[in-house]
Structure 1
Amino acid sequence: MTTEPSAYHQRVARQKRKAILEAATRLFLDSGYARTSLAKVAEAAEVSKATLFKQFPTKAALFDAIVTASWRTGEEDVVRPSAGDPGTGLALIGRRYVALLTSPGMADLFRIVIAEMPRFPELAEAQFNQGKMPYFDSVRRYLEAECAAGTIAVDDLDLAATQFLGMISNYVFWPRMLLPHWAPDEASMERVVDEAVRMMRAGYGTG
């Protein structure tokens, strides 16, 4: 006799989790972190309190899950670029980064963290340690692989990863924190990625 949940129950559990994360994000943004209770999240997500507490026993655990989901959406299903062609690999990473930064919930998540940081610094720590750093490390590992392949020469991998991601986010994302209607078109964002790749190859390429 198996104790594994059926495919149906697994699907229902995923749907409820998605509803909880979406409801919590809306409430955190509209009401603030302090004024949002798990009971309110359960009501907004149309799930029982027992269902919510089973998955997220604390509000901090719920916020951590929102951060993780926002930074890793779809990343587990994509093919990582192979070392050997930094132009192609960096372009692929750059375009995925644009898609991530322009996803519907990413700007909202940062606004929650910025608004609540004076009272709840742990939210910023969660955003940094569970969201940004794992993504940053994946880019760093790619650059490290290209160094091993001899296609680029980088003395400071952390700096190089910061430079590449910064060239993209400083145009695509950060202006949205002050200008809510900032929405560069696809061609502009493509050009930003292409220029970031060109500068990385010019600065670190060996060929």
Structure 2
Amino acid sequence: MDRTATTYHQRVAQEKRALIVSAATALFLELGYDRTSLARIAEQSGVSRATLFKQFPTKAALFDAIVTKSWSTSEEEEIPPAGNITEGLGTIGRRYAELLGRRQMTDLFRIVIAELPRFPELAHAQFSQGKLPYFESVRSYLLAEHEAGTVRVEDVDLAATQFLGMISNYVFWPALLVPSWEVSPERVAQVVDEAVRTITARYATQGPAASTDD
């Protein structure tokens, strides 16, 4: 099989995978995780059962794919280099706000909350495969800034939680509870900027050479 044919088949497989994930998300929200069968998802997505089972042999695997899609960012979006805490946090904050503003993120949390009593493993998957890896990337960035001397952070976990929380508490959680909640792009930018200012005011040093013993 030549490269062109291989690329074509890969693209078709990716398109079908996206259709399956989208259909599963909609059905999980409408019917619940337990009442949604893989056969129903195949029918809704317009693919054969064989195709669906090849991609996702279980509902758990399919839910994992929903988590991965919801928390995915562009491959080019690497952790900003240490050295400028304002620019670095600004980049991270804008990415986080964009991530939380996606429809699939709200859908994911609604599925987890609705099914938590019967399927706690869904919440575990959402945390361990989605939120935790993202949190760790922010934590790693703050740790790098601490080691570079641009910030003095004794509790990196707390600092990362503070920063992300200031953004999510305005941009995401109200939207989860109030479907009509809307935040303009200008307001989102303001929320991110204020979160950056708050963190830098609390943790930034006067310069890379500042002593941690001051």
**Alignment TM class, shorter chain as reference:** over 0.9
The answer as to 2:69 corresponding to 1:54 is no
Written as runs of structure 1 = structure 2, the 5 A alignment for 1:5-16 is: 6-16=6-16
Call closer, same or farther: CA 1:137–1:48 in 2, change over 3 Å.
same
Distance 1:80 1:47 in 2: 37
Matching residue of 2:138: 139
Which residue is 1:126 aligned to? 125
- CA shift for structure 1 position 2: 7.9
Query: TM-score by structure 1 length?
Result: 0.95
**Contact preservation (8 Å) 2:82, 2:88:** yes
Which residue of the partner structure matches residue 111 of structure 2? Answer: 112
Q: What residue in structure 2 maps to residue 93 of structure 1?
A: 92
Deviation at 1:78, TM superposition (A): 2.0
Q: Which amino acid aligns with 1:162?
A: T
- For residues 12 and 73 of structure 1, the distance between their equivalents in structure 2, rounded to whole angstroms, comes to 22
User: Residue 77 of structure 1: SS of its match in structure 2?
Assistant: coil
Residues 42-81 of structure 1: CA deviation (Å, up to 9, x unaligned): 111111111111111100110011001110142x232431
Give, as a single letter, the amino acid of the residue that structure 2 aligns with 1:182: W
| Other-structure match for 1:175 | 174
Structure 2 counterpart of 1:23? 23
**Helix, strand or coil: the match of 2:195?**
helix
How has the CA–CA distance of structure 1 residues 163 and 71 changed in structure 2, closer, same or farther, with 3 Å as cutoff?
A: same
Cα displacement string for residues 66-103 of structure 1 (whole angstroms, at most 9, x for unaligned residues): 001110142x2324311100100000100010100001
TM alignment of 1:155-166, pairs within 5 A = 155-166=154-165
Residue in 2 that maps onto 1:42: 42
Q: Map Cα deviations across residues 160-193 of structure 1 (whole Å, 9 max, x no partner).
A: 1000000000000001122111111112111111
- Sequence identity of aligned pairs in percent? 64
Partner residue in 1 for 2:212: none
- For the 8 Å contact 2:167–2:192, the answer to whether it is kept is yes
Structure with larger Rg: 2
RMSD of aligned C-alpha atoms? 1.6
Query: TM-score normalised to the size of structure 2?
Result: 0.92
CA distance in 1, matches of 2:190, 2:174: 17
Distance in 1 separating the partners of 2:104 and 2:93: 19
Q: In 1, are the aligned partners of 2:79 and 2:137 still within 8 Å (CA)?
A: no
CA displacement 1:97-156 (0-9 Å, x = unmatched):
010000121111101110110111111111100010000001001111111111001111
Give me the whole-angstrom Cα distance separating, in 1, the residues matched to 2:73 and 2:90: 19
Alpha-carbon separation, structure 1, partners of 2:47 and 2:2:
26
SS of 1:198's equivalent in the other structure is: helix
Gaps of 5+ in 1: none
